[in-house]
Amino acid sequence: TIPFDIERIRADFPILDQEINGRKLVYFDNAATTQKPIPVIEALMNYYRGYNANIHRGIHTLAEKATADFEASRRAVRDFLNAPSAEEIIFTSGTTMSINLVAQTYGRHFLKEGDEIIISGLEHHSNIVPWQMLAGEKGLTIRAIPVLENGELDLYTFEGMLSERTKIVAVNHASNSLGTVNPVKEIIAKAHAAGAVVLIDGAQASSHLDIDVQDLDADFYALSAHKIYGPTGLGVLYGKRALLEAMPPYMGGGEMIKEVTFEKTTYNDLPYKFEAGTPNIADVVALKAAIDYITKIGKPNIAAYEHQLLQYATEQIGQMDGIRLIGQAKEKISVLSFVLEGVHHQDIGIILDQQGIAVRTGHHCTQPVMDRFCILGTTRASFAMYNTMEEIDKLVAGLQRVKKLMA
Ligand code: PMP
Gap between the Cα atoms of 6 and 12, Å rounded: 10
More confident call, 255 vs 78: 78
Gap between the Cα atoms of 388 and 127, Å rounded: 32
Q: Please give the number of the atom of ligand 1 that sits closest to the Cα of 224.
A: 15
Q: Is 242 exposed, middle or buried (0-12, 13-18, 19+ CB in 10 A)?
A: exposed
Render pLDDT for 58-93 as a digit per residue (tens, 0 to 9): 899 999 999 999 999 999 999 999 999 999 999 999
How many CB atoms are located within 10 Å of the residue 74 CB?
A: 21
Minimum mean pLDDT range among 138-142, 219-223, 262-266: 262-266
Note whether 259 and 25 are within 8 A (CB). Answer: no
Per-residue pLDDT, averaged over 346-369, amounts to 97
34 in ligand 1 pocket by Cβ < 6 Å? no
Q: Quick one: CA torsion of 343, 346, 348, 350, rounded to 10 degrees?
A: -140
Q: How confident is the model at residue 21 (pLDDT cuts 50, 70, 90)?
A: very high
Render pLDDT for 176-203 as a digit per residue (tens, 0 to 9): 999 999 999 999 999 999 999 999 999 9
- Of the chain, the percentage scoring pLDDT greater than 70 comes to 100
Pocket probe mutation, ligand 1, options 98, 176, 229, max atoms within 8 Å of Cβ: 176
Pocket probe mutation, ligand 1, options 124, 171, 332, 380, max atoms within 8 Å of Cβ: 124
94 in ligand 1 pocket by Cβ < 6 Å? yes
Which amino acids are annotated catalytic?
365
**Model pTM greater than 0.80?**
yes
pLDDT at 132: 98
Render pLDDT for 262-290 as a digit per residue (tens, 0 to 9): 999 999 999 999 999 999 999 999 999 99
Let me know how many helices (H) and strands (E) the chain has, helices first.
Answer: 15, 17
List b or e across 182-217, with b for residues whose CB sees 16 or more CB atoms inside 10 angstroms: bbbeebbebbeebebbbbbbbbbbbbbbebebeebe
* 407 pLDDT above the threshold of 80: no
For the complex shown, is ipTM > 0.95?
yes
Q: How confident is the model at residue 57 (pLDDT cuts 50, 70, 90)?
A: confident
**β-bridge pairing 89-92 and 360-362:** unpaired
Residue 99: phi and psi, rounded to 5, are -70, -45
Gap between the Cα atoms of 290 and 306, Å rounded: 18
pLDDT at 324: 98
pLDDT at 202: 98
203 in ligand 1 pocket by Cβ < 6 Å? yes
